[in-house]
Amino acid sequence: MRSSSATEMSPRRRGISRARARETLTGLAFIAPLLAGLAIFDLGPLVATIGESFTRSLGFGRSEWVGIAAYLDFFVDPVALGAIVNTLLYSLGVLLGIPLALLFAEALNRKGLRGRGIYRTLYFVPVITMTVAAAMVWKWIFNGEYGILNAALAVVGIDGPYWLTDRATVMLAMVIVGVWMSLGYNIVIYLAGLQAIPTDVYEAAELDGAGWIRRFVSLTVPMVSPTTAFLSVTTMISSLQMFDLVYIMIGPTNPAIDSARTIVYMFYETGFIKQDRGHAAAIAVMVMLFILVIALIQVRLQRRWTHYEV
Amino acid sequence: MNIPARSIPALGVVAVALALGGCSTPEESGTTLRYAFWDESQKAAMEQLARNFEDDNPGVSIEIEATPFAEYFTKLETSITGGSGPDVFWINASQLPRYAEAGVLAPIETDDVSWEAYPEAIEKMFLVDGTHYGVPRDVDTIGLWYNKAVFDAAGVAYPTSDWTWEDLKQSATALTDPEAGVYGIAANFDSQQSYYNTIFQAGGYVVSDDGSESGFDDPATQQGITFWTDLIDAGLSPTLSQMTEIEPFDMFLSNTVGMLYAGSWNARWMYDDEAIRANVGVVELPAGKVEATVLHGLANAVSSASSNAALAEKFAAYLGSAEAAEFIASEGVVIPAYEGSADQWVASMPDFDVQVFVDALEFGVPWPSTPTTATWEVVEVDMLRPVWAREISIQVQGPKLAEAVDEILVGD
């Protein structure tokens, strides 16, 4: 919107502003149900959580004020630091699925590819699969004794590890599932991005003698960079909140839990097993700040490499 | 379905009315008591007991609410905090002190309960500062289960109830066959069904009787842990990694583990499977320095917020009566706490010698429980895990664990 519009229209300003006020009120009335829902179900609990984070729960709704003790704890607790490292490792691992998704999208976008619909459906199935169900199946795939993965490795003479109970491999295993689950969604978004690129650019490049790789690197990659930026931010935000894979595939008695515990899983342990809601609230607030900071950094960084014009 | 556009607002009104209507339960004549429990397999008996009570008390209706154990206590605490808790509910010995301390349980003072009918150790589990907070319902103990196929294959004699730790180790050694991937026993990383038993048998303790001190720095307690870790080190048990990949119970049932410590509540489902019934047996736990087993149990408690406290108390008392115990025994899932009513439970499984679980009541050691059990239990699992994974010895980790638990116990 141009900033000069108000002055240009100054002669009829009063009339406009009355109409504007009406319009604003009507608009507000339309979003009121949503706004009310937001206030009751999101903002209210957010404020309550922040308030609770300064307390220690004594059970059954009773609590005592402890100030910022839980926050100070968070920075010296080796378990919390381990959880931060694990969460970051997992998120970075899942981010690596984005270039992979671009390659798949490029392949699926080929003209004249047979059974394109089937491929697209196949890649999208993991996205609509319940995480719990997927995690249960992957838990069996990774099983050290009877897992299909180790059976496959055995065929080529590799003695596979106990993927989920070995500290060295547990994070890799979770990242594989994370990438598998996010791949389909990323491919669909990339396909939309690819289809928005005008074909004449490619035709020009082809005339100039650019090969497939050259066109992909110099045209496709920069042209879909807004999509890449969007995907990296959303992937990061969802990966930083990962909980279900640890809950289903790992669990509290697993010898590799220290290499798998994410911040949100730590939140669950604190709030629901140790039953300290106050401390858990502080962890939740830290997760929120953590995600905010990382998302801001990402948005900043992407300005340097994203092309928003064709 | 085609809906004329002009009738949409009308539909909206109907929808709102329906939604509002759904908020309030229809009024019923008389009094309603809500009863919460977790074991779906005992639902039929629960329902029957509720109907019996309704027949004896005209105008009273009982609503039954079953919640899976994994969510039971989270839901119970949340609903009690929110003022919508049940009137009568199951509670176990490990949670009771916490609930009693928070003042959400009503003291059981009615004369309808004949306390002398329950074994003293069980009555004590639901007693806080001399006040009863629950009417004992059922009890459980632990036994040594063995897989006949594994014993037969190795040509080893089946275990007997007069075994000691030494006998167990010898048999486990004879059963173990690394080539075939068969282990003598599974050193299950489970407090109730494994290491608490051996801690008590070694003369150790988890928490001191006055609830002020952890026992993990005590050499006897540590012996109860090394009993298991030695078995892992000797290769007589699968490692923690292996037991996380495949549940010890699954290994036991698939003939790759010869022996397993497991609770009395497992008898029923194994008995109901004919193949399993023919292949497993049970004896008393092998004795260490002394004979011992973890004794644990459930009670029916009454909410202090119940608007029909007297009636709720009466119902709880009925649920702990001889008549109710008979019903519970006939289900054959758990051992009723009411003295003498265990016989029917034993008789319901003639092919298993489940009498050993009843005999074990004599030397049962009550589950260690303090108001902060939920908190220190997590710390215990966290700090014993590396011991089980053989990354650190209990002699090094024990004192650290004791210190951490002591710190939590101060809050009691």
CATH number at residue B105: 3.40.190.10
What would the mean pLDDT of B269-295 be, rounded to a whole number?
96
Q: Do A39 and A101 have their domain in common?
A: no
What would the mean pLDDT of B110-121 be, rounded to a whole number?
89
Q: Do A46 and A79 have their domain in common?
A: no
Q: Do B227 and B321 have their domain in common?
A: no
Which residue of A lies nearest to B245 if distances are taken between CA atoms?
A: A143
Q: Output the pLDDT for position B341.
A: 87
The Cα–Cα gap between A54 and A33 comes to 32
Residue of A230, A248, A239 lying closest to A130 (CA atoms): A248
Q: Do B135 and B150 have their domain in common?
A: no
- pLDDT tens by residue, B242-256: 999 999 999 999 999
Q: Do A120 and A18 have their domain in common?
A: no
Q: Is residue A4 part of a domain?
A: no
Question: A residues 226-245 near B, CB within 8 Å?
Answer: none
Q: Output the pLDDT for position A309.
A: 58
Q: Does B381 touch chain A (CB under 8 A)?
A: yes
Cβ density class A237-251: b for 16+ within 10 Å, e for less:
ebbbbbebbbbbbbe
Place of tokens 């838990």: A139
Label residue B9 by pLDDT band (50, 70, 90): very low
- Chain B interface, mutation test: which of A57, A60, A79, most B Cβ atoms within 10 Å? A60
How many Cβ atoms sit within 10 Å of the Cβ of residue B187?
28
Residue of B107, B124, B104, B96 lying closest to B209 (CA atoms): B124
Number of domains in chain B: 2
Asked if residue B21 has pLDDT above 50, the reply is no
Q: Do B395 and B273 have their domain in common?
A: yes
Q: Does A255 touch chain B (CB under 8 A)?
A: yes
Average pLDDT across chain A, whole number: 89
What would the mean pLDDT of B285-299 be, rounded to a whole number?
95
Q: Is residue A59 part of a domain?
A: no
- pLDDT tens by residue, B170-216: 999 999 999 999 999 999 999 999 999 999 999 999 999 888 999 99
Label residue B17 by pLDDT band (50, 70, 90): very low
Asked if residue B13 has pLDDT above 70, the reply is no
Q: Do A28 and A124 have their domain in common?
A: no
Q: Is residue A141 part of a domain?
A: yes
Q: Do A40 and A112 have their domain in common?
A: no
Helix/strand/coil for B198? helix
Q: Is residue B2 part of a domain?
A: no
Question: Is B374 close to A145, i.e. CB distance below 8 A?
Answer: no
Closest Cα in chain B, distance from residue A61 (Å): 6
Q: Output the pLDDT for position B93.
A: 87
Percent over 70 (pLDDT), chain B? 93
- pLDDT tens by residue, A170-197: 999 999 999 999 999 999 999 999 988 8
Q: Do A171 and A23 have their domain in common?
A: no
Label residue B20 by pLDDT band (50, 70, 90): very low
- pLDDT tens by residue, A17-40: 888 889 999 999 999 999 999 999
Q: Is residue B362 part of a domain?
A: no
Q: Which residues of A touch B74 (CB under 8 A)?
A: 272
Q: Is residue B204 part of a domain?
A: yes
Q: Do B248 and B384 have their domain in common?
A: yes
Count of residues making up chain A: 310
Label residue A212 by pLDDT band (50, 70, 90): confident
- pLDDT tens by residue, B138-168: 999 999 999 999 999 999 999 999 999 999 9
Q: Output the pLDDT for position B3.
A: 42
The pTM for the full model equals 0.83
The Cα–Cα gap between A123 and A141 comes to 18
CATH code at A162? Answer: 1.10.3720.10
Q: Output the pLDDT for position B7.
A: 44
Question: Is B385 close to A253, i.e. CB distance below 8 A?
Answer: yes
Number of domains in chain A: 2
What would the mean pLDDT of A45-62 be, rounded to a whole number?
90
Q: Is residue A16 part of a domain?
A: yes
Asked if residue B26 has pLDDT above 60, the reply is no
Q: Do A28 and A139 have their domain in common?
A: no
Q: Do A274 and A159 have their domain in common?
A: yes
Asked if residue A252 has pLDDT above 50, the reply is yes
Q: Is residue A241 part of a domain?
A: yes
Angle at A187 between CA A181 and CA A189, to 5 degrees: 110
Q: Does B75 touch chain A (CB under 8 A)?
A: no
Q: Output the pLDDT for position A191.
A: 92
Which range is least confidently modeled, A234-248, B111-125, B262-276? B111-125
From the list B77, B244, B389, which residue is nearest A59 (CB)?
Answer: B77
Q: Is residue A60 part of a domain?
A: no
Q: Output the pLDDT for position B15.
A: 43
Q: Which domain holds residue A112?
A: 69-305
Q: Do B76 and B176 have their domain in common?
A: no
Q: Do B86 and B225 have their domain in common?
A: no
Q: Which domain holds residue B148?
A: 142-294+369-409
- Chain A interface, mutation test: which of B91, B182, B193, B241, most A Cβ atoms within 10 Å? B241
Q: Is residue B6 part of a domain?
A: no
Q: Which residues of B touch A166 (CB under 8 A)?
A: 241
Asked if residue B5 has pLDDT above 60, the reply is no
